[in-house]
Amino acid sequence: MAVRAKALTREAIFDALWNRQTYATTNCRIYMDFTVCGQPMGSQIEAKGARPLHVYAASEQPIAAIEIVRNGEDSVRAEPNQMEATFDADDDASGPAYYYARVTRADGQMAWSSPVWVEG
């Protein structure tokens, strides 16, 4: 498990946990950042129109795949095969949805972000 805290302090870590700015890994070192409409993982937001999705991932093994999951189904995918990767996409869906990112390394190890819940 990883926490996206603003600082390495007890207060910042508990704040990040409270705001669900966390992600899970299969016991490997992956750095991940995921946003929807510029809002971080764990957020609950309202959005109309296109929803910009952004994933940044880095690891000591190449990133084989980055996938965005919308409402439990794979939505879009990139295969960067790099140690550091950025993936941007837009979702034109309307109505409520939740999104999360899944990152898979070349060795099969994975990470999953907390979701972003969208009303709209």
CB-based contact 55:66 (threshold 8 Å): yes
Q: Rounded to an integer, what distance in angstroms lies between the CA atom of residue 37 and that of residue 45? A: 9
For the stretch 18-52, pLDDT in tens is 988 888 999 899 999 999 999 999 999 999 889 99
Cβ neighbours, 10 Å, residue 14: 12
E-strand ranges in the chain read: 2-3, 22-25, 30-36, 39-40, 44-46, 51-70, 73-78, 82-91, 97-105, 110-113, 116-119
pLDDT recorded at residue 16: 84
Tokens 């979701």 correspond to 115
Catalogue all structural domains in the chain, each as residue range(s) with its CATH number. 26-119 (2.60.40.10)
Q: How confident is the model at residue 3 (pLDDT cuts 50, 70, 90)?
A: confident
The predicted-structure confidence for 82-114, as pLDDT tens digits, reads as follows 999 999 999 988 899 999 999 999 999 999 999
d(CA 93, CA 70): 10
Is the pLDDT score of 5 beyond 90?
no
Q: Check residue 114 and report its DSSP letter.
A: P
Which tokens go with 117? 């819940």
Torsion 16-22-27-32 (CA) sign: negative
Its pTM stands at 0.89
Residue-wise pLDDT for 42-79, tens only, equals: 999 999 889 999 999 999 999 999 999 999 999 999 99
Which backbone phi and psi does 96 adopt, to 5 degrees?
Answer: -65, 145
